[in-house]
Amino acid sequence: MNEKNNSSKFAEIMIMGIFLLIVFAIIFLIVGVSSARHKNGYIQGDYSEYKCSICKNAADGGAYFFDGKPYEDMYLCKEHFKEMKSNNSSDNIECKVCHREFKKGSENAKSIKKTNMCSQCYKNFKDASDVINELPQN
């Protein structure tokens, strides 16, 4: 009887181990496929050189300089202009500095804060009538 309990527990542990192995394999495949998309998209394109289309700096593993300082971990990424994810042309490749600096759309838009301050004398006011009352009389 004790031997049957041990074998059933062993079977449960084996099933649980196989289940966890399958879950980890699926997670690895999902992460691996998503990170390889940019690399595969770049490899499939017809590029003469591995170069950013904006700043024209190459990311060939050599010395890359940004603001006069070496930038060791430079890589290039695809920019999806007009939501064309299959665009593998050389003008669709950007380095990560240019990609971050020139983001398209509202991601990079700065919000404008409304202030109640005169742009000439920097005096605070509540509404437009306060500004009119403060104007010099001729």
- The pLDDT tens digits along the chain (138 residues) read 556 677 788 888 999 999 998 988 887 777 655 444 444 444 444 455 666 777 776 655 444 555 555 555 455 666 655 555 566 566 666 776 676 666 555 554 555 556 667 666 777 766 656 555 555 665
Please check whether residues 21 and 63 belong to one and the same domain.
no
Per the DSSP assignment, residues forming a β-bridge with 76 are 95
Q: Are 100 and 54 in contact, with CB atoms under 8 Å apart?
A: no
Please check whether residues 2 and 49 belong to one and the same domain.
no
Rg (CA), the chain: 30
Please give the angle made by the CA atoms of 81, 59 and 95, to the nearest 5 degrees.
Answer: 30
Tokens of 51: 């170069």
Taking the whole predicted model, whether its pTM rises above 0.75 is answered as no
Domain count, the chain: 2
Please check whether residues 21 and 76 belong to one and the same domain.
no
Please check whether residues 21 and 54 belong to one and the same domain.
no
Please check whether residues 73 and 87 belong to one and the same domain.
yes
Please check whether residues 75 and 122 belong to one and the same domain.
yes
Q: Which domain holds residue 133?
A: 45-138
Check residue 41 and give its pLDDT. 47
Q: Are 56 and 49 in contact, with CB atoms under 8 Å apart?
A: no
C-alpha distances in Å from residue 109, one per residue of 64, 79, 92, 112, 127: 28, 18, 22, 9, 27
Query: Is 18 buried (19+), middle (13-18) or exposed (0-12) by CB count in 10 A?
Result: exposed
